[in-house]
A = this chain, B = another copy of it.
Amino acid sequence: MHKIDVHVDQPYSVSVGHGVVRTWTPSQQRIAVLYDSNLPQALVDPIMSQVELAIPLPSGEACKTLTVFASVLSQLAERAFPRDCAIVAMGGGATSDLAGYVAASYLRGVAFYNMPTSLLGMVDASVGGKTGVNLPEGKNLVGAFWQPQAVYADLDYLRSLPAATFKEGMAEMFKHGLIEKPALPRHFYELSDIDRPEFAQDLARSIAVKAGVVSRDPTEKGERAHLNLGHTLGHAIEGVSKHAIAHGEAVAYGLHYAAYLSALEGGEDVTALTREFLHWMQPKTLPTWSWPALQAYMARDKKADSQGLRFTLLKTLGECYVARVSAEQQAKAFDLWVNDLP
């Protein structure tokens, strides 16, 4: 078992390994688990003896609405769940975004545990304290920073994951490697074998990249923006495709775009690497890619301030910075990118 410490106000650990969920020993008496209703029951069962209330959530992104948020809160209030209760998320990143936001908001904040069941949930959503829901106007526009008390990344949960979903997580692992080169999984072709001991090591190293960034910048004042590499176009792709293109796929596209933009702005050209990843991943595609539509969506990005949009770019492999980029350069990078898609 690997343990990664996250040094935020209330420090906590991420346990990575086979069967780690069974090591969970909560201190709270009254506990509600919010789980993705598509999960095999066998994954939920091991913790049910410690849980008073189990609330199934609409699967995936569909749970991230203020309507689901209100319904879950009412179910907790109806049962008079007290301030020293705990909320557990069991599912992918969407499940933990919703469940974490419920934990942050119910009675102005209660304890939260996260048991991610997808690789994306483990490598990305499990660390960082970002929680929230979507609005009809855009993704993740409402939420809170709320840290879990502990995270259990149980590799056994990955066995039932479809290949495409697994690869979504690999896109974030790949991103962590671009941000901090030692975490770059060079052989992502072979990585899908979760029973190789190297897999747990690579995953732990990748989580540690995010844990390091988040520890140094818990509320996104500076360095944390590096984690947005590939996400500005990525979020726009998700939005414009109405989530037909999943988060990890959109990030893989976004990383390739960020590589072009970085090179145009004078950085190291890593487009060969991001192209290789895209070819390996084979993400879903759109019939047409419209720059005006993507650009309009990006203008609403949370990372935009009154002066406009800032991009996370690579200076060299393993070194990021944040900068504004002219509309011309953005469009030029789009042309290069769109003509280079698999």
Contact = CB atoms under 8 A, between A and B. Distances in A.
A82 interface: yes
A145 B108 contact: yes
A77 B135 contact: yes
Given A77-B300, A84-B306, A304-B80, A105 B69 contact: no
Interface stretch (A136-144, A165-173, A249-257): A136-144
A109 B145 CA distance: 9
* Interface range for A: 35 or more
Instruction: Please state the number of chain copies in the assembly.
Output: 2
Interface string A39-51: 0000000000000
A325 to B, nearest CB: 17
B105 A144 contact: yes
Contact of A69 (B66, B85, B130, B300): B66
Contacts of A73: 66, 135, 141-142
A26 to B, nearest CB: 12
A209 to B, nearest CB: 22
A78 interface: yes
Interface string A9-32: 000000000000000000011100
A135 B300 CA distance: 30
Given A143-B105, A144-B104, A144-B105, A82 B137 contact: no
A302 interface: yes
A323 interface: no
Contact of A143 (B66, B108, B132): B108
A332 interface: no
A163 interface: no
Contacts of A299: 80
Interface in A108-149: 108-109, 130, 132, 135-138, 141-145
Nearest to A135: B77
B304 A138 contact: no
A142 B109 CA distance: 8
Interface of A: 28-30, 66, 69-70, 73-74, 77-78, 80, 82-85, 104-109, 130, 132, 135-138, 141-145, 219, 299-300, 302-306
Given A73-B141, A109-B219, 8 more contacts: A66-B66, A78-B137, A83-B305, A85-B306, A106-B141, A107-B302, A108-B130, A144-B144
